[in-house]
Amino acid sequence: MTTTEQNYIPRHIGIVMDGNGRWAKARHRPRSFGHNAGRKAVRQVVEGCLRMGVEALTLFAFSSENWQRPQEEVSALLDLFMRALDKEVDELHANGVRLRFIGDLDAFDQPLQQRMLAAAKRTAGNEKLHLNVAINYGGRWDIVHAARQLAAAVARGDLSVDAIDEPAFDLHTSLAGLPPLDLFIRTGGDRRVSNFLLWQLAYAELYFTDTLWPDFNQLSLQHAINDFARRERRFGRTGDQVAQA
Ligand code: IPE
Ligand code: IPE
Ligand code: MG
């Protein structure tokens, strides 16, 4: 890969993995069958990101709104999540993936919290790919959580109000320290953000595809990245300014 091509590889990709239920329904199977099938797609995108040198990948696995689903679907999802965690961590670790979980993790029972912490700790020294799994995550929660931490620091006298600027705020969000989100992908045909990374989406390129999540693979990822590579990111400047830079 030449360095010019490398410039068109997004450094950080976020994905709303949607369409598992419809994928299963089309096969006359329960929704959990679709969630299970989605695991293969996760492996595919992780492999693709490793191969192409993407630095960070953030996957929306369970939103703060998903608790409203039928109890049995919620349990099936958490169960699947726990099993996937046990099964995949070895290989992720062997491939140099640093795994982290973002979201309000206090909502989960202790065994699951412990497993997430252990996986994060075990892979903490890896640098090839930052893989963030958003679970009980909401973009609004992320912003409120950061605001609370800043307010607490001010109340303690550790921070002055004047020191609260965008970089300081960013430091308290879930993806602090990672490259800015370059590319947002949503599968499943809906064109909405559904309370995923709100703060981080400010200048991300948005890509929507009708492909249902279980059918998404490395080629689909390549299509999304090719689309990203064709875009001109101006960040407020003019096209001429960008061409000159
Ligand atoms: C995404 O697929 C997975 C989660 C939200 C956990 P869905 O379950 O939302 O699938 P559809 O949108 O109903 O097809
Ligand atoms: C978004 O998908 C959440 C995840 C993919 C985890 P949903 O299927 O929950 O989104 P809505 O409800 O259609 O907006
Ligand atoms: Mg959905």
- What CATH number does residue 129 fall under? 3.40.1180.10
- Residue 161 forms part of a structural domain: no
- Residue 149 forms part of a structural domain: no
| Contacts for 100 with CB less than 8 Å, ≥ 6 apart | 120, 130, 131, 132, 133
Supply the pTM of this predicted model. Answer: 0.96
27 in a known ligand binding site: no
pLDDT tens-digit readout, 195-242? 999 999 999 999 999 999 999 999 999 999 999 999 999 999 999 999
Number of domains the chain is built from:
1
Residue 96 near residue 75 (C-beta atoms within 8 A): no
47 in a known ligand binding site: no
Distances (CA, A) of 233 to 86, 182, 236: 40, 10, 9
pLDDT tens-digit readout, 21-53? 999 999 999 999 999 999 999 999 999 999 999
180 in helix, strand or coil?
A: coil
Give the residue with greater pLDDT, 111 vs 12.
Answer: 12
Residue 178 near residue 42 (C-beta atoms within 8 A): no
What residue's CA is closest to ligand 2, atom 11? Answer: 194
- Residue 155 forms part of a structural domain: no
Question: Measured from the CA of 25, which atom of ligand 1 is nearest?
Answer: 14
Question: Measured from the CA of 65, which atom of ligand 2 is nearest?
Answer: 9
- Residue 63 forms part of a structural domain: yes
For residue 223, the enclosing domain spans 3-137+180-244
- Residue 84 forms part of a structural domain: yes
64 in a known ligand binding site: yes
Q: What is the distance in A from the centroid of ligand 3 to the CA of 62?
A: 10
pLDDT of 3 over the 70 cut: no
- Residue 59 forms part of a structural domain: yes
Q: What is the distance in A from the centroid of ligand 1 to the CA of 128?
A: 29
Ligand 1 within 6 A of CB of 19: yes
pLDDT at site 147: 98
- Residue 127 forms part of a structural domain: yes
Q: What is the distance in A from the centroid of ligand 3 to the CA of 191?
A: 11
- Residue 174 forms part of a structural domain: no
- As annotated, the active-site residues are 18, 66
pLDDT of 6 over the 70 cut: no
pLDDT of 4 over the 50 cut: no
Question: Other C-beta atoms within 10 Å of 171: how many?
Answer: 12
